[in-house]
Every structure is written in structure tokens, then in C-alpha cells.
Amino acid sequence: MIKLTGFNNVEFYLNCELIEKIEVTPDTVITTVNGKKFVVKETPEEIIKKIIEFKRKFMLSLPEVVK
């Protein structure tokens, strides 16, 4: 999950696996796979960086497979 800031300055966490698309309208609008929309203060580039950081941390936390 990634931490984002809504336009009401309230921080919330969003499951990044549910993101279908990110638009700039000029506000940043995230649409999830179920059609729910979130308007956030972060830019698409910042959101993508947060997703990459989250996935990197997740992948590094997986146990090593020994053959």
C-alpha cells in the first residue's frame, strides 16, 4: 500500500495493486479497477516512484529460495 494525500490534506493508504490508471486533468486522478476515483496532490511521477519503492521493499522481504 502507498501513502497518498487527498486534496482535503487527509493522508490515506491505497492498495497500489488496484490502480487501473492515473490521469492529470490538471489534478491527479487515480482510477481503481472497481471504478472508484481518488483525487490526490501527488503527481503521477511521484505515485509511480511510491509504487516502485513499495514493490521493491516487498520483493526484498521475500525469503530466498535455496536450490
Asked whether the beta carbons of 38 and 46 are under 8 A apart, the reply is: no
Q: Is 37 left (phi over 0), alpha (psi -120 to 50) or beta?
A: beta
pLDDT 10s digits, 9-41: 999 999 999 999 999 999 999 999 999 999 999
d(Cα 38, Cα 55) in Å, to the nearest integer?
21
> Is the Cβ–Cβ distance between 51 and 18 less than 8 Å?
no
Interatomic CA distance for residues 15 and 40, integer angstroms: 14
Tell me the pTM: 0.85
Give percent of the chain above pLDDT 70. Answer: 93
d(CA 1, CA 20): 15
